[in-house]
Structure 1
Amino acid sequence: VGGARSVLPLGLEGVDALLPGGGLLRGGVVELMVRGGGALGTTLALGACRAVQREGQGWCGFVDPSGTLHAPGVAGLGVELERLLVVRPPLEMLSRVVLRMAEARVFSLLVVDTAGVADLALDVHLGPWVRVVRRLALALQGTESTVLLLTSRSAPRPLALPVSQRLELERRSERELSLAVTKDPQGRLAPPRPLAVQQLRGVRRTGPGLSSSRPRRMAGAA
């Protein structure tokens, strides 16, 4: 990788200021490692979907194996359901589905949830995902698309995933989070910095866009 790659500004007050270049890295795999509630990662991911859609005619894909996305809540965050494809594969098909979606090159942003939420946590061992991430990176070469991989800090992982950029989001208290940059292709790392929960726009205990009950099927869902 030669020069600096472009970024996707999220338009979230306080968040972009903490990210290298002011947004999520484009053209690569970004890991968002979450500690203290997967709903936080989902909230940030939906903000990225909204940002992609507001740029133009881009589509967002969201791989949601735990089935926690809730259509009215997602729409309430400003995400256009007409340009959001939600896929809910069984866990044994997760990596295969993700690779097919990335290799199709039709999504400006592809969110992959391997964490779930507190009451619907996923049991995904990240060891095999080292190979998956490498294949995803190949699929993204020469594009401005991003794969945002949501992971749990507690998930088994014998090796760090070979992502282009890694962010770590942690809940410190009911009202405060911290966000750190622990990997970046240009070496623009940042220690944990405080972030108000409100700056993720309406995080609740069940998470915006989430439901502890079975979600409604969304427009375009598979």
Structure 2
Amino acid sequence: MTWNDERDLPEGRHRLLKEFVMTEIEHKAQKARAPRRRLLRPAVLAPVLGLAAAAAVALPLLVGGGDPAYAVTDNPDGTVRIQINEVRDADKLEADLRAKGMSVVVDYVPKGKKCSPQPRAARFLPEEEAPLYVVPDGKDDGPGFVIDPRVIKDGQTGVLEFSVFDDPDDPVRVAAIWARVAEGAVADCTLVDTTEPPLSH
């Protein structure tokens, strides 16, 4: 289109053409000013997995590569923080928690697996009745997660199942936790194949 052609356009078409050109110029200018956003790898691989129903929750900042494999810290309010640094030594973590007086079982459940048999105990208490996992209140943003062992009474056992993605090239190891209190004995976890979402019970 020549300048003469543009001058001969009807007034309405000329105005639309001018608005289009100005819009394109502004759009390109904004794009040039906008900072390039870098895609960050999320620290948590799984979403909240039915917290109210199954107490399976997404965990931030549980990353691999550390030594020792985990850390256990007593909080002043009686709760206990557990930080998983590497997916190993589940039996030792369980033993250390039991040495602190906590009746718990600990299992790592890889992607595509689940614990069998299900359910692993005759009865699991509702999460509202025995909230083993302490939901963050926004003030506590440290690595790991917090449990309240005081909700485990005599004759009961806490069950901690961790959904893990054991990829040596991926520092993110623990995706979610299923934390519940069982009455009576808890069956050993035998890993079997599954196509269900992680920690489905």
Task: State TM-score, norm by structure 2.
Answer: 0.24
Larger radius of gyration: 2
Which structure is higher in RCO with an 8 Å CA cutoff and minimum separation 6?
1
Instruction: Select the structure that is richer in helix.
Output: 1
TM superposition score normalised by structure 1? 0.23
